[in-house]
Amino acid sequence: MRGITPVIAVILLMLITISMVGFAFVWFTRLAESATSTVGNETESLAQNLAKKISIDNVEGTSLALRNRGTATVQPEEIGFFIDGASVTCAGLSAISPGAIGTCTLSSACNAGSTMRITTPAGADEVRC
């Protein structure tokens, strides 16, 4: 009987060790899968936003022309309009396809010397009126 006790103790210790390694493996695998999925989703979202690049083509008084220089269609609600840092609205603007020009009417005129700025998911553009 004396020879069996150490064998049982070694077997139990090995089973405990194997179960702990198995638990750690499963935990780290799930953690890595979750991190990979999150990074992939964020990268895809960033790439979609960077494809929405708008520039100011022309601004005269209350008339504004925007050109889509990106590769994705830009919706009007994705664009912010500012004259000298004050937010303004731009009525009549519809979705702008890649390479297309969109026009709208500003709620406030851009007077000579003022700065017209637009912001999009891909960045911003700014011109002097």
Q: Identify the pLDDT of residue 128.
A: 92
Two structure tokens written together for 112: 């000579």
Burial class (CB in 10 A: 0-12, 13-18, 19+), 117: middle
Number of compact structural domains in the chain: 2
42 and 60 share one domain = no
84 and 29 share one domain = no
Given a cut of 70, whether residue 17 has pLDDT beyond it is: yes
118 and 63 share one domain = yes
Tens digits of residue pLDDT in 62-114: 999 999 999 999 999 999 999 999 999 999 999 999 999 999 999 999 988 89
pTM here is 0.67
CATH code (residue 66): 2.60.40.1220
56 and 108 share one domain = yes
11 and 68 share one domain = no
List the end-to-end C-alpha distance of the chain, in Å, as a whole number: 98
Tens digits of residue pLDDT in 28-68: 999 999 988 888 888 888 888 888 999 999 998 899 999 99
Q: What range defines the domain where residue 9 resides? A: 1-50
Q: Identify the pLDDT of residue 23.
A: 95
Q: Identify the pLDDT of residue 82.
A: 96
Q: What DSSP line would sit under 38-98, residue for residue?
A: HHHHHHHHHHHHHT--EEEEEEEEEEEEEEE-SSS-B-GGG-EEEETTEEE-EET---B-T
Which of residues 48 and 120 earns the better pLDDT score?
Answer: 120
Q: Identify the pLDDT of residue 59.
A: 92
CA-CA distance, 126 to 129, in Å (whole number)? 10
Q: Identify the pLDDT of residue 1.
A: 56
Q: CA torsion, points 108, 109, 110, 114, in degrees to nearest 10?
A: -70
Nearest of 67, 31, 32 to residue 52 by alpha carbon: 67
